[in-house]
């Protein structure tokens, strides 16, 4: 049996103790810190916060998690995640986005439940307690999509990880940033026929998305019926979503009270697409069609302009920064320091995989710290407090849990992480180095001793409470270590034949940025 069922396990009461508790970011330079403190959680909510001596005297009968050598922080949030097994594991090297996605057509089909658990193990072990899962659209009838979504959500619920789930959809430009029929007509006849047949399996009526997918999912998971689950919307990106799909998405978001996640301006080719198609930037076009708002999170935002920043700020839009992904796919470096300077809320996402080809938010925070350190003596880099807020409070807001998690305060859900502060600071760390600096600069997954979600210990001392990791990995290996099926071989062949034509399609595109990331970062 893989899972024993996290959701059915009562949280009860417990005390979480630490030498230092990092409660919340106060401002850009400091985090509210409680020394020798503890948190009492009751039935999944934080009931009291105070000195450990006082709380333990009044609640001596409850279990104590942590120790005098622990650091306690709010649960971290991965604001942009897709899959479990990474593209490298499945045979796709790091390529520019426009080629990479078609290369992934040759991946084996993975059981969505097992695949989700694979990355959930990594998330939880690095202190992530909530994730925005952006599900991949597969060639199947819309009526079949809820089954895959339920399999993904079952994995999160079984292991106990909080999730905001959105099924990515698209209705145009499935191979390149041009009309499908026009591009396919340029291919050799035999390849065109195979590509046309493959793309036909992805077509669906936009209205069916609401009736056949969205409504059934909302009936089961809507209205905060499940404390661990939120449902969001996610047209995959501007290039592959028609204005009609975007308009419908806005209507659904308003009708059902849902948030929206949209990949935007990730690459220079996407920036050029909007110039060619709309004669303006992607953000400006979204403003024109009424798509911007505080319910919206934009993934990446690597190639936005000065004017875009004004629109993003004015409409209260969040940005989810994916530093590792942008580096690995050669997309560029987003102007994060300018986002922060403008007061735009920034969250962090690991996307397909981080620099170590895994899901490690502790490392991702450190990467963001160093990546956006502008050269020179007088430019202020991102501070540890700003990065801490990105990974906690801003992350919670960007995926729809903003009023419930992201900081340690009475009344909040008890999502928190316990780390071994003694090991993080051994053999010596100056008292001039704050616990926050230690977290940002030195914390590793190996230092996480416990992860609590909704008051339940889901991970402790390398062991997962509700799911058998060894059995899961064995089942996943058996699922993948088999001869490729005919449909997988056909997809792989199509991918190999298509890639040279995709590469040639973009060859004459103008990619001269007028306001590049290095200018916006002051470089």
Q: Are residues 34 and 122 in the same domain?
A: no
Residues 104 and 220 in one domain: yes
pLDDT in tens, 441-499: 999 999 999 999 999 999 999 999 999 999 999 999 999 999 999 999 999 999 999 99
The DSSP 8-state label assigned to residue 142 in this structure reads G
Q: At what angle do helices 435-442 and 384-391 cross, to 10 degrees?
A: 70
Last residue in a domain, options 341, 372, 398: 398
438: domain CATH number?
2.30.40.10
Tens-digit pLDDT profile for residues 282-310: 999 999 999 999 999 999 999 999 999 99
- Of 359, 377, 398, the last residue of a domain is 398
CB of 469 closer than 8 Å to CB of 159: no
Statement to judge: residues 46 and 169 lie in one domain? no
My answer on whether 189 and 250 are in the same domain is yes
Q: CB-side exposure of 357: number of CA atoms within 13 Å?
A: 10
- Answer whether 271's CB lies under 8 Å from 303's CB: yes
What is the rounded CA–CA span in Å between residue 385 and residue 176?
Answer: 40
Asked if 80 and 63 sit in the same domain, the reply is no
Residue 508 lies in a domain: no
61/80 same-domain check: no
> Looking at the structure, do residues 55 and 97 belong to the same domain, yes or no?
no
Asked if the structure places residue 453 within a domain, the reply is yes
For 437-462, letters b (16+ CB in 10 Å) and e give ebbbebbebebbbbbbbbbbbbbeee
Residue with tokens 């409660």: 23
pLDDT for position 8: 65
Residue by residue, DSSP assigns 473-510 as: HHHHHHHHSSPPPHHHHHHHHHHHHHHHHHHHHTTT--
- Length of the chain equals 523
Decide if 496 is inside a domain.
Answer: no
* Judgement on whether residues 144 and 84 belong to the same structural domain of the protein: yes
Judge if 106 and 50 occupy the same domain.
Answer: no
Based on the structure, what is the number of domains in the chain? 2
The candidate with the shortest Cα–Cα distance to 90, out of 497, 502, 500, 491, is 491
pLDDT at position 1: 47
User: Which of 366, 398, 430 represents a domain boundary (last residue)?
Assistant: 398
Asked if 358 and 440 sit in the same domain, the reply is no
Find where tokens 């190996």 sit: 446
Look at residue 521 in the predicted model and tell me its pLDDT.
Answer: 45
Instruction: Return the HEC string of 77-101.
Output: EEEEECCCCCCCCCCCCCCCHHHHH
Does any domain span residue 201?
yes
In a domain, residue 441? The reply is yes
160 in a domain, yes or no? yes
Domain limits for position 281: 76-398
C-alpha–C-alpha distance, residues 419 and 414, integer Å: 16
Whether 404 is covered by a domain: the verdict is no
Per-residue confidence of the chain (523 residues) as pLDDT tens digits? 466 666 667 789 999 999 999 999 999 999 999 999 999 999 999 999 999 999 999 998 999 999 999 999 999 999 999 999 999 999 999 999 999 999 999 999 999 999 999 999 999 999 999 999 999 877 667 888 999 999 999 999 999 999 999 999 999 999 999 999 999 999 999 999 999 999 988 888 899 999 999 999 999 998 888 999 999 999 999 999 999 999 999 999 999 999 999 999 999 999 999 999 999 999 999 999 999 999 999 999 999 999 999 999 999 999 999 999 999 999 999 999 999 999 999 999 999 999 999 999 999 999 999 999 988 888 889 999 999 999 999 999 999 998 899 999 999 999 999 999 999 999 999 999 999 999 999 999 999 999 999 999 999 999 999 999 999 999 999 999 999 999 999 999 999 999 999 999 999 897 765 554 445 444 4
Is 4 within a domain? no
Task: Please tell me the predicted confidence (pLDDT) of residue 85.
Answer: 97
* The residue to which tokens 């106990």 are assigned: 160
Whether residue 207 is found in the same domain as residue 317: yes
Distances (CA, A) of 65 to 160, 412, 418, 455: 18, 18, 8, 11
Determine the pLDDT at residue 518: 41
How much is the pLDDT for 11? Answer: 81
**Three-state secondary structure readout of 336-395:** HHHHHHCCCCEEECCECCCCCCCCCHHHHHHHHHHHCCCCCCCCCCCCHHHHHHHHCHHH
Closest alpha carbon to 177 in 291, 34, 282: 282
Q: Are residues 293 and 429 in the same domain?
A: no
pLDDT of residue 223: 81
CATH number for position 339: 3.20.20.140
């Amino acid at each position: 049996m893989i899972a024993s069922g996290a959701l059915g396990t009562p949280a009860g009461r417990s005390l979480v103790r630490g030498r230092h508790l990092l409660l919340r970011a106060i401002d850009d330079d400091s985090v509210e810190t409680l020394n020798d403190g503890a948190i009492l959680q009751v039935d999944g909510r934080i009931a009291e916060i105070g000195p450990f001596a006082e709380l333990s005297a009044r609640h001596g009968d409850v279990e104590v998690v942590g120790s005098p050598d622990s650091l306690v922080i709010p649960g971290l949030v991965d604001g942009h995640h897709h899959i479990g097994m990474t593209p490298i594991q499945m045979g796709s090297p790091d390529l520019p986005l426009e080629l990479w996605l078609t290369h992934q057509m040759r991946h084996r089909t993975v059981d969505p439940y097992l695949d989700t658990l694979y990355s959930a193990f990594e998330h939880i072990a690095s202190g992530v307690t909530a994730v925005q899962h952006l599900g991949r659209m597969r060639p199947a009838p819309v009526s079949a999509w809820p089954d895959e979504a339920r399999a993904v959500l079952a994995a999160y619920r079984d292991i106990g990880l909080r999730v905001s789930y959105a099924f990515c959809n698209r209705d145009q430009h499935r191979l390149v940033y041009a009309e499908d029929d026009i591009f396919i007509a340029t291919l050799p006849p035999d390849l065109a026929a195979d590509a046309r047949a493959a793309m036909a399996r992805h077509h669906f009526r936009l209205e069916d998305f609401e009736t056949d997918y969205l409504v059934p999912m909302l009936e089961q998971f809507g209205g905060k019926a499940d404390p661990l689950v939120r449902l969001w919307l996610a047209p995959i990106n501007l290039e592959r979503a028609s204005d009609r799909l975007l308009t419908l998405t806005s209507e659904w978001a308003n009708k059902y009270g849902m948030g929206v996640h949209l990949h935007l301006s990730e690459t220079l080719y996407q920036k050029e697409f909007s110039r060619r198609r709309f004669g303006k930037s992607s953000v400006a076009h979204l403003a024109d069609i009424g798509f911007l708002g505080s319910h919206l999170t934009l993934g990446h935002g690597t190639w936005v302009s000065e004017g875009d920043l004004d629109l993003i700020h004015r409409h209260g839009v969040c940005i989810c920064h994916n530093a590792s992904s942008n580096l690995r796919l050669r997309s560029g470096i987003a102007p994060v320091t300018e986002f922060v300077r403008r007061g735009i809320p920034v969250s962090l996402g690991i996307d397909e995989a981080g620099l170590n080809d895994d899901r490690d938010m502790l490392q991702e925070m450190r990467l963001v710290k160093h990546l956006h350190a502008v050269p020179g003596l007088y430019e202020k880099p991102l501070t540890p407090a700003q990065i801490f807020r990105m990974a906690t409070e801003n992350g919670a807001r960007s995926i729809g849990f903003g009023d419930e998690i992201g900081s340690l305060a009475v009344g909040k859900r008890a999502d928190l992480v316990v780390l071994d502060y003694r090991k993080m600071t051994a053999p010596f760390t100056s008292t001039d180095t704050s616990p926050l600096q230690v977290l940002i600069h030195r914390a590793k997954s190996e230092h996480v001793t416990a992860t609590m979600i909704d008051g339940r210990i889901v991970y402790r001392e390398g062991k997962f409470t509700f799911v058998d990791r060894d059995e899961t990995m064995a089942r996943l290996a058996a699922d993948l270590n088999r001869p490729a099926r005919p449909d997988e071989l056909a997809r792989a062949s199509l991918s190999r034949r298509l890639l040279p034509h995709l590469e040639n399609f973009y060859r004459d595109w103008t990619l001269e940025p007028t306001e590049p990331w290095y200018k916006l970062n002051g470089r």
